[in-house]
Structure 1
Amino acid sequence: MVDWNLAVATATRLVRPGPEVSKDEARAIVAELRRHAKASEEHVRGFTRMIPESHAPEDTPVLVVDRAGWVKANVAGFRELLKPLLEKMQDRRAGGTTGAMLGAVGGKVTGVELGMLLSFLASRVLGQYETFAPATRELPAGADGGGRLLLVAPNIVHVERELEVDPHDFRLWVCLHEETHRTQFTGVPWLRDHLQGEIQSFLGETDVDPMTVLERLREAAQSLAGARPEGEEDEGGRSIVELVQTPAQREILGRLTAVMSLLEGHADFVMDGVGPDVVPSVAEIREKFQQRRARGASRLDLALRKLLGLDAKLRQYRDGERFVRAVVEEVGMDGFNRVWTSPNTLPTKAEIAKPADWVARVHRRAD
């Protein structure tokens, strides 16, 4: 159903080259990122108090990669995560020679499309904690289903130059964010399985009937073009990704959005909270980085962000950080850490917007 090798080949062929650095500079950058990633473990765990000092660090490797390496890692992750859905689609596909031929052609088309999407994203991601990361020879992963932390060196160098900030401070600042994600998943044993269950439920609700999918795409196109059928309400600026979902998927997506807002906002809160002690120019970096997030790179970039739902990702950072900050101010870090007790103590999408409601529910306080 998807030609994964073609997806990798397409993305690596189309991705833009990174900034020019000499071999000596590249070695120094990689070495520094590894040092910062290691130092970030102590900074993050001390600030969040999520893992006791006696707890040994989990076996989740830190990999400094280029843009092609990021593509390969994400294709491997997609392949693992989407396996149940693709098997379902395979079963629904018509049998016989015609079905096999259409499947082969469709797999190549999908592989090219996925490769084009990854080539767009590969120059924008600074780092990533891969939660569902199968180990490969080139890209090791943690034992027993553990993930891996990726730092995309060319993109980090590109942004630090674009923002004209201290490169050493910026590299540590990025590592603090990504290390927070690693701490979240290694410090909360049930989080990975919970998130995987939600994603698989979302994929399980996917309607693989081609005519149904085409009808939803038509309705999505009408909405995006402002040509909604008479009597239908505005979809509130949803992306095309959201518009082709079923009602059940939208409900699951609401829960996933709340979790991702929590995780991203928590990472932003921690990187800025740790920052003043170890990143002297953290205030300057944050101000310039926020301006960069808000404006986008170009009109095309803004259009693609909207179409793919990436602007919703930016809202997750903002809304999640506000939630974490408000809760910590109200009940302290230990009080906030009750959020990691079980899936029942995770905030809902509504509580992300109203942190006081989460505090009242979880801490059993009167308003």
Structure 2
Amino acid sequence: MSTGSGGGSGEGPDDGANPFKGTPFEQFFSGAGGFGGVGGLGGPGGAGMPDLSQILGQIQAMMQPYDGALNWDVAQDVARKTVAQTPDPSPTQRQQDAVADAVRLADHWLDAVTEIPSAVTSTAAWSRAEWIVSTLDAWKVLVDPVAEQSVTGLAKALPPEAQAAAGPIVGILGKAIGAMLANQVGSGLGSLAGEVLTASDIGLPLSAPGRAALVPANVTAFAEGLDVTEDDVLLFLALREAAHQRLFAHAPWLREHLVGAVTDVASGVEINVEGLQERIQEQMSGVDPQNPESMQQLLEGGLFDMPPSPAQRAALERLEIALALVEGWVDEVVNQATAERMPAAQRLQEAVRRRRAAGGPAEETFAALVGLELRPRRLRDASTLWGSLRQRQGVEARDGVWLHPDLLPTSADLDDPLGFREDAGAPESLTEDDFDAELRKLLDGE
């Protein structure tokens, strides 16, 4: 790319002085004008071209120092400002008491349909802003690994010689990308805060263990138009929240299983350098390095939105199946708990399913940014599987599957939910003598 004579040594930008030459970032940095001559990293560019030091100064000015791949102070600030765009009153004492009473009654109903004991140690009625603050630590665990891969992907796309020459530049741009990601994450969290109904609404454990929490303002909005009393809506959602709390306490490995799947999505990221170069050349033509907003548009345009690697696809499938199994089990036990007590339960269950299937802007944000689908696609199959297992082998068999991750149904099991563990209930065919013989083998170490 010829842009006129360079400064300093008199050499043009095509003579190799640019350490990014031949890399995906050649067009950007040759356009920035900082590599046109000797000592170009700090000096002015060629004729009619901006000073790279000025550009970097502007990039630095748009962010404050922070640790990690993503500026969480910015993310939280953006999230709270997003929520503040609409009224967000703190829950009243009456609402706090109503949530506590609903959760207490929900636990009583659940005792009759599952042997997994209550795990609720405290209750809370959160404003939307309180939901953000109270779940932020969980989001850090979920988002940081993916943000780290996005930021380090900038350097990984360069050959070693370019990385050595442009280390400071890549580091500064990495921080800029981390600040941009923080804005996207904050916006997504703010949008989610306006939609979530409970602490476990998306199927992931976001609250502290044992803390059952609901968002009354969102519950009221959800109840509108359902032709169901708000008390029934509150109790139904309290049942779902209390069921989530029981399951995550009963299966302590489950929290790490879900978080690990998200982390594996990040670690499975593979940077396609050739494909990235083509995309950058296409998108950088509209980027003004002096304009942070144009750099934000570049990021939002999918600069790092590469096709998923095989490792990512496997992790995403594991996450999808696990979320479906969690939500399917919750649907199953809540359906059993309300069958004889709440005539409106079926209507509420369908409303929850429709809401989950439809998704929204916040879920689309996280799907694009984190690769995280917040809605399980195979929920109905999972619910059918748990109900079938209970009918054939009882509540103990259904809930016993959660004792270890190796016992969980697979994708193939969800393809045939009525056949899961169909032959597991055949111990009656084992005679007493056969049992004694197998026990002796076990004790003898055979």
User: What's the TM-score once normalised by structure 1's chain length?
Assistant: 0.73
Q: What is the aligned length?
A: 324
The answer to whether 1:41 aligns with 2:104 is no
Asked if the contact 2:188–2:366 (Cα under 8 Å) also holds between the matched residues in 1, the reply is no
- Tell me which residue corresponds to 2:176: 105
Give me the whole-angstrom Cα distance separating, in 2, the residues matched to 1:26 and 1:279: 26
The answer to whether 1:356 aligns with 2:418 is yes
Distance of aligned partners of 1:69 and 1:85 in 2 relative to their CA distance in 1, 3 Å threshold: same
Asked if the contact 1:205–1:246 (Cα under 8 Å) also holds between the matched residues in 2, the reply is yes
- How far is the alpha carbon of 1:171 from its aligned partner? 0.2
Asked if the contact 2:126–2:214 (Cα under 8 Å) also holds between the matched residues in 1, the reply is yes
1:154-165 maps to which residues of 2 (within 5 A)?
A: 154-165=217-228
Give me the whole-angstrom Cα distance separating, in 2, the residues matched to 1:204 and 1:33: 39
Amino acid at match of 2:394: G
Give me the whole-angstrom Cα distance separating, in 1, the residues matched to 2:136 and 2:399: 33
Q: 2:133 aligns with which of 61, 67, 72?
A: 72
Give me the whole-angstrom Cα distance separating, in 1, the residues matched to 2:308 and 2:122: 35
The answer to whether 1:121 aligns with 2:192 is yes
Asked if the contact 1:6–1:108 (Cα under 8 Å) also holds between the matched residues in 2, the reply is yes
- How far is the alpha carbon of 1:263 from its aligned partner? 0.5
The superposition leaves residues 213-257 of structure 1 with CA deviations (integer Å, 9 ceiling, x where unpaired) of: 848989xxxxxxxxxxxxxxxxxxxxxx99732111211222222
Q: 2:82 aligns with which of 2, 6, 14?
A: 14
- Tell me which residue corresponds to 2:440: none
User: What's the TM-score once normalised by structure 2's chain length?
Assistant: 0.61
Give me the whole-angstrom Cα distance separating, in 2, the residues matched to 1:98 and 1:213: 22
The residue matched to 2:199 in structure 1 has which SS? strand
Amino acid at match of 1:37: V
Distance of aligned partners of 1:72 and 1:214 in 2 relative to their CA distance in 1, 3 Å threshold: farther
- Tell me which residue corresponds to 2:20: none
The answer to whether 1:3 aligns with 2:71 is yes
Asked if the contact 1:19–1:154 (Cα under 8 Å) also holds between the matched residues in 2, the reply is no
Distance of aligned partners of 1:215 and 1:244 in 2 relative to their CA distance in 1, 3 Å threshold: farther
Amino acid at match of 2:256: D
The residue matched to 1:48 in structure 2 has which SS? coil
Percent identity over the alignment is 24
- How far is the alpha carbon of 1:157 from its aligned partner? 1.0
Q: 2:327 aligns with which of 261, 264, 271?
A: 264
- Tell me which residue corresponds to 1:235: none
- How far is the alpha carbon of 1:170 from its aligned partner? 0.6
Q: 1:179 aligns with which of 206, 217, 242?
A: 242
Distance of aligned partners of 1:12 and 1:188 in 2 relative to their CA distance in 1, 3 Å threshold: same
Distance of aligned partners of 1:216 and 1:350 in 2 relative to their CA distance in 1, 3 Å threshold: farther
Asked if the contact 1:43–1:274 (Cα under 8 Å) also holds between the matched residues in 2, the reply is yes
Give me the whole-angstrom Cα distance separating, in 2, the residues matched to 1:216 and 1:168: 56
Distance of aligned partners of 1:252 and 1:104 in 2 relative to their CA distance in 1, 3 Å threshold: closer
The residue matched to 1:336 in structure 2 has which SS? helix
Comparing 252-261 and 180-189, the one that deviates more: 252-261
The superposition leaves residues 339-367 of structure 1 with CA deviations (integer Å, 9 ceiling, x where unpaired) of: 113212100012123123422365469xx
Distance of aligned partners of 1:18 and 1:155 in 2 relative to their CA distance in 1, 3 Å threshold: farther
- How far is the alpha carbon of 1:287 from its aligned partner? 4.6
The answer to whether 1:248 aligns with 2:248 is no
- Tell me which residue corresponds to 1:136: none
Amino acid at match of 1:319: D
Question: Which of structures 1 and 2 has the bigger CA Rg?
Answer: 2
Distance of aligned partners of 1:242 and 1:149 in 2 relative to their CA distance in 1, 3 Å threshold: farther
Distance of aligned partners of 1:84 and 1:361 in 2 relative to their CA distance in 1, 3 Å threshold: farther
The residue matched to 2:214 in structure 1 has which SS? strand
- How far is the alpha carbon of 1:292 from its aligned partner? 5.2
Task: With a CA cutoff of 8 Å and minimum separation of 6, indicate the structure with the bigger relative contact order.
Answer: 1
Q: 1:30 aligns with which of 96, 116, 121?
A: 96
Give me the whole-angstrom Cα distance separating, in 1, the residues matched to 2:394 and 2:183: 48
Q: 2:405 aligns with which of 329, 332, 343?
A: 343
- How far is the alpha carbon of 1:307 from its aligned partner? 6.7
- Segments of 5+ residues of structure 1 without an aligned counterpart are 52-56, 134-138, 219-240
- Tell me which residue corresponds to 1:223: none
Distance of aligned partners of 1:290 and 1:81 in 2 relative to their CA distance in 1, 3 Å threshold: closer
Distance of aligned partners of 1:290 and 1:313 in 2 relative to their CA distance in 1, 3 Å threshold: closer
The CA RMSD over aligned residues, in Å, is 3.9
More helix by share: 1
- Tell me which residue corresponds to 2:291: none
The superposition leaves residues 315-342 of structure 1 with CA deviations (integer Å, 9 ceiling, x where unpaired) of: 3433322222222223222222231132
Give me the whole-angstrom Cα distance separating, in 1, the residues matched to 2:398 and 2:233: 27
- How far is the alpha carbon of 1:77 from its aligned partner? 1.3
